Structures are given as C-alpha cells and as structure tokens.
Amino acid sequence: MDLEDTLLMMPGPVAVTPRVLRAMSKPMINHRSAEFAGIYTDCREILSSVFQAKNDLFVLSGSGTAGMEAATRVLDRA
C-alpha cells in the first residue's frame, strides 16, 4: 500500500506501514513459553522501577474493566 497516495477519511481500514506489516507477520509468542516468561519478567522489573513499586507488581492482559475488577478484589481482601 502506498501511504503517500492514499488518504483514508473513515474509521477503517487503516493504512499500515511496511515496518508494521513485517512486525505483524511474525509468529505469536505462546503465553506458556520460556520466551514469554522472560519477557514478562523483564516487563515486571522495568515497570516496578518506573513506578517505584515497593510491593509485587502484576501485569494483566485484559480490558480496563478487568484491571479495575482485579484491583477491587485485592482491596476487598485488605
């Protein structure tokens, strides 16, 4: 798709750059694989540093509603 010649004035489809297409063509990482475990650990360490967290940090894959429900469940037990 030539991005310079295409002007899309609607919600979709969207123009995607070749770099994004290449990234999207890679196989997904299984959430039970050792590779994912390493990425997850790295994310936790980086986010813990960014937020200066003193307690455990958890990364959730879900909607904002899922995150809010998880937070309220933790607060409910405190």
Domain chopping of the chain, boundaries: 29-77
Give the least confident one: 3-7, 17-21, 27-31: 3-7
**Band of the pLDDT at 20, cuts 50, 70, 90?**
very high
pLDDT grade, residue 2 (50/70/90)?
Answer: low
CA separation, residue 74 to residues 4, 55, 69, 70, 78 (Å)? 49, 13, 9, 6, 7
List strand residue ranges (DSSP E) for 1-78, in order.
none
Element (H, E) at 13: none
Per-residue pLDDT, averaged over 27-41, amounts to 95
What pLDDT does 37 receive? 95
Distance CA 70, CA 78 (A): 13
Helix or strand (DSSP H, E) at 78: none
